[in-house]
Amino acid sequence: MGISFDGRVAIVTGAGTGLGRSHAMALAARGARVVINDMGTGADGTGASGDAARAVVDEITAAGGTAMAHGADIADEGQVADMVAQTMARWGRIDILVNNAGILRDKTFAKVTLEDFRKVIDVHLMGSAICAHACWPVMRAQGYGRIVFTSSGSGLYGNFGQANYGAAKAAMVGLMNVLHLEGMRDDIRVNTLAPTAATRMTQDLLPPEALPLLAPETITPGLLYLVSDDAPSRVILSAGAGTFAVTRITETQGVTLQGADNTPENVAAQFAQITDPSGAQDLPDAFSQTRKYAVNAAQLRGLDLPW
């Protein structure tokens, strides 16, 4: 077995069912000690039960693995702090954080209440940030950490009736980009998984024939790579039905307009060149964009910038 998690400790949120359960089971099968975090709510975030998390712990234990359950609400800082404290008290380290938990409250933007909009943001975005923030000092002290945020095609490309969910899932990419930069010194690698799977959140939206093809287990191998010792960082790995692809955010070469030429009419006139994908770049950080623009303008003016 090439990729092993012997000696590693992982927290997987939303691990009682679906993708989270699949990720947790696979991590445990390869030697990780796993915290099964799940509140046991419905897909809309209502209700609560510890049964699902305990059932996954029992499955892992029966297979010879090691796991513990914790029912923290990931949007609650105190409960997440308790989960991290209990993990450290039991195993002394946290190597892997898989932010998987989520809810759906789908409605068109015209009909969605701001309460439902905010709740989805709180669970997906704030919940992921709270868990990462609680694990961050542990990983920095260890000089090792692997964090995965879970995005979605709804966040990357859009999906009708999911403004709240899409906004939250798009935010995962921005959070990843910054934590990738801030974690480099301490070997904390941060990636985003963008899965499409047949789970309780999606099964009613899919044709029955597609359900077996889109099983969560077809996605988990990609997740395991993203949290392995040799993982990349700042990757958006899209996955479903055994297909793995990388989604990239790139910027075109663009057009520089200066002085009297910098008009909305010229933006319109040159929009085909502005949007030309030839030579598009994957910029490593925000300052790279600033530098690009300043250098382009300086060259047109015969200036020499110290970059």
Q: Are 71 and 53 in contact (CB under 8 A)?
A: yes
Q: Are residues 135 and 207 in the same domain?
A: yes
Q: What confidence score (pLDDT) does residue 160 get?
A: 93
Q: Are residues 242 and 280 in the same domain?
A: no
Asked if the structure places residue 307 within a domain, the reply is no
Asked if the structure places residue 254 within a domain, the reply is no
Higher pLDDT, 29 or 304: 29
Which of 144, 165, 225, 293 does the annotation list as catalytic?
165
Higher pLDDT, 1 or 142: 142
Measured distance CA(205)–CA(200) in Å, rounded: 10
Percent of the chain exceeding pLDDT 70 equals: 95
Per the listing, tokens 């002290």 go with 141
Q: What confidence score (pLDDT) does residue 197 get?
A: 79
Structural domain including 225 reads 9-246
Mean pLDDT of 173-189: 98
Measured distance CA(93)–CA(95) in Å, rounded: 6
Helix intervals (H) in the chain = 18-29, 51-62, 77-91, 114-121, 127-142, 153-156, 163-183, 220-226, 264-269, 271-274, 286-300
Asked if the structure places residue 305 within a domain, the reply is no
Mean pLDDT of 227-246: 96
Cβ count within 10 A of residue 4: 12
Asked if the structure places residue 2 within a domain, the reply is no
165 is an active site residue: yes
Look at the chain and report how many structural domains it folds into.
Answer: 2
176: helix, strand or coil: helix
Q: Are residues 55 and 141 in the same domain?
A: yes
7: helix, strand or coil: coil
